[in-house]
Chain A
Amino acid sequence: MKNIFFGFVIGATTLAACNDSNNKVAENKNDNRDTAQVKAQAGSSTATTATVAEVKGTTSIKEIVTTYLQLKNAFTKDNSNDAASAGTSLQTAFKNFDKIALTAPQEKLFEEVADDASEHAEHIGKNGGNIVHQREHFIMLSKDMADLIKTLGNGGQTLYKDFCPMANDGKGAIWISETKDIKNPYLGKAMPTCGTLKEEIK
């Protein structure tokens, strides 16, 4: 009985302590971000190379598409861990996207898509080992990608929009592919060829 009580209290103390330090780390991160912003503002007249690079961004639609396709191909092979690392890369590609060449309506759509899509990419990244949950996010991510490509183009490679009626619990789902042959990312090896070509995106 005493042992149980000890265990409880010690556990309690550690938990409280852990939680406290977590919060501190989070707060510190925020602090850093604030300082970075202040610095960026202060330095705007003497724009440093670092701030310029940040504004300009480093990735294009081509990188976003390529990373999405890596993610898709990991799902066709039922590989949850590869999907997770591609998901994290995709999140970064969205974050570092170079918006400078976009028209105002293009930028508006990009912002809206990126806000939604990066959260899906993040969750795919964080859920290595839970391919069911990863694929749930991939359904919504693929819809985002189709809309993005419609507005920003295919990044220089011919793409295909495919549809599988059996995915998404029979409600159906689309995905974007770089090959004309069907390779299903939702059902993977269980049913690799389920689906039809809906649209060629040149």
Chain B
Amino acid sequence: MSNLRKVILVVGLLFIAIQFIQPAHNKNEQALPTDFAKIYQLPANVERILQNACYDCHSNNTSYPWYSNIQPMASMMARHIKNGKEKLNFSDFGSNSPRKQISKLKEIANQIKDDEMPISSYKAMHKKANLTKEEKMLIMDWMNKTADNLSAEN
């Protein structure tokens, strides 16, 4: 066997080997009483945008396309979900104090305004996560309005 072939073989085997590393899936269908959609009056269009663009990394329910089971994408996704949920988990939003809910609502509006979220590598793979200007305005307005109402109550 030529050297080149050996290298291809080794690399190929490595590629197969890493496929056995499969991070546990983030999937829990049961909605908590602290779910974002349960604690706020969430308009259907706002909920749909959040589901399409944010819930994969910021909820207890990721929808996994086929390629997300192939390494290294699977590990990258798992890392995004772990870090993302630490900062913001829509499935358990109500477990935050009102003060923290207000902060998170404003942070969501800020991240969308600054085009920081959704993460750009994710947008490249998910067409629906590329929000239009109108969709962005809708989310930002709703988040800011909800934060203001909550501030007035507390």
**Contact between B76 and A15, CB atoms less than 8 A apart:** yes
Indicate the size class of the contact surface on chain B. 20 to 34
> Which residues on B sit within 8 Å (CB–CB) of A113?
99
A22-B79, A113-B99, A136-B106 given; name 12 further pairs at CB < 8 Å: A10-B11, A13-B15, A15-B76, A16-B18, A16-B72, A20-B21, A20-B75, A115-B97, A120-B103, A133-B110, A136-B107, A144-B99
Closest 4 CB pairs between A and B? A15-B72, A12-B72, A19-B75, A16-B18
- A132 at the A/B interface (Cβ < 8 Å)? yes
- A112 at the A/B interface (Cβ < 8 Å)? yes
> Which residues on A sit within 8 Å (CB–CB) of B97?
112, 115-116
What is the minimal beta-carbon distance from A33 to any residue of chain B, in angstroms?
16
- A165 at the A/B interface (Cβ < 8 Å)? no
- CA–CA, A9 to B8, complex, Å? 10
Q: Taking chain B's interface residues, is the majority helix, strand, or loop, or is none over half, making it mixed?
A: helix
**Contact between A15 and B11, CB atoms less than 8 A apart:** no
- CA–CA, A16 to B20, complex, Å? 11
- CA–CA, A98 to B71, complex, Å? 47
**Contact between A12 and B106, CB atoms less than 8 A apart:** no
> A residues bordering B, Cβ < 8 Å?
2, 6, 9-13, 15-16, 19-20, 22, 112-113, 115-116, 119-120, 132-133, 136, 140, 144, 169
**Contact between A140 and B103, CB atoms less than 8 A apart:** yes
Q: Taking chain A's interface residues, is the majority helix, strand, or loop, or is none over half, making it mixed?
A: helix
**Contact between A11 and B99, CB atoms less than 8 A apart:** no
Q: Which of B75, B100, B106, B114 contacts A15 (CB 8 A)?
A: B75
Which of B8, B11, B14, B116: most chain A CB closer than 10 A? B11
**Contact between B75 and A116, CB atoms less than 8 A apart:** no
Chain A: which residue is nearest B18 at the CB level? A16
- CA–CA, A22 to B82, complex, Å? 12
**Contact between B15 and A12, CB atoms less than 8 A apart:** yes
> Which residues on B sit within 8 Å (CB–CB) of A9?
11-12, 14-15
